[in-house]
């Protein structure tokens, strides 16, 4: 494990804990409150589902980048992908969804912790970043979660 991987794993851990604490603290009644009124029309639960699903999917993409040097296909439509996938966890209880997030993050942290500097420098196509290093793509996970927590806070304050 490299120092960079260790720092990345630690940041993923602390930011994951913040995300989990934020969503765990929300009252039951706000989970159905709309966050996005246009396009995807997600409520708070859908935003949280998206974080679980996207992190799981991205970790699989990272494994593919390490194995093949490839990433997302050219022309991959991230918005269509997100719209098609969101709602797949609707049957899960809030506690099950929170546990799924914790398990998913733990797997991402373990994956990051095991990377070498050479692996972190591997390049591949990310659905949003385009051609980028694995290190950059891993950093985007916690930035993505922070962005969506901000969206939820803004929607709940309205």
E runs forming strands in the chain? 123-126, 130-133
- pLDDT tens figures, 10-43: 999 999 999 999 999 999 999 999 998 777 789 9
Q: What does the alpha-carbon distance between residue 62 and residue 57 come to, in Å, rounded to a whole number?
A: 9
Let me know the angle formed at the C-alpha of 116 by 57 and 15, rounded to the nearest 5 degrees: 50
By C-alpha distance, which of 12, 3, 10, 127 is closest to 64? 127
Q: What is the fold of 3-25+42-157?
A: 1.20.120
pLDDT tens digit sequence for 81-132? 888 888 888 899 999 999 999 999 999 999 999 999 999 999 999 999 999 9
Q: Domain locations in the chain?
A: 3-25+42-157
Q: What are the tens digits of pLDDT across the range 44-60?
A: 999 999 999 999 999 99
Using DSSP, state whether 78 is helix, strand or coil: helix
Q: What is the pLDDT of residue 51?
A: 95
Q: How high is the pLDDT of residue 122?
A: 96
């Amino acid at each position: 494990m490299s120092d960079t991987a260790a720092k990345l794993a630690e940041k993923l851990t602390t930011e994951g804990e913040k995300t989990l604490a934020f969503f765990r603290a929300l009252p039951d009644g706000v989970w159905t409150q709309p966050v996005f009124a246009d396009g995807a029309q997600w409520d708070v639960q859908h935003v949280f589902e998206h974080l679980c699903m996207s992190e799981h999917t991205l970790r699989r993409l990272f494994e593919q980048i390490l194995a093949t040097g490839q990433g997302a296909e050219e022309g991959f439509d991230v918005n269509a992908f997100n719209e098609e996938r969101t709602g797949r966890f609707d049957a899960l209880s809030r506690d099950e969804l929170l546990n799924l997030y914790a398990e998913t993050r733990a797997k991402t942290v373990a994956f990051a912790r095991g990377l070498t500097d050479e692996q972190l420098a591997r390049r591949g196509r990310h659905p949003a970043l385009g051609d980028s290093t694995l290190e950059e793509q891993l950093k985007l996970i916690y930035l993505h979660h922070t962005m969506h927590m901000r969206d939820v806070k803004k929607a709940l304050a309205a």
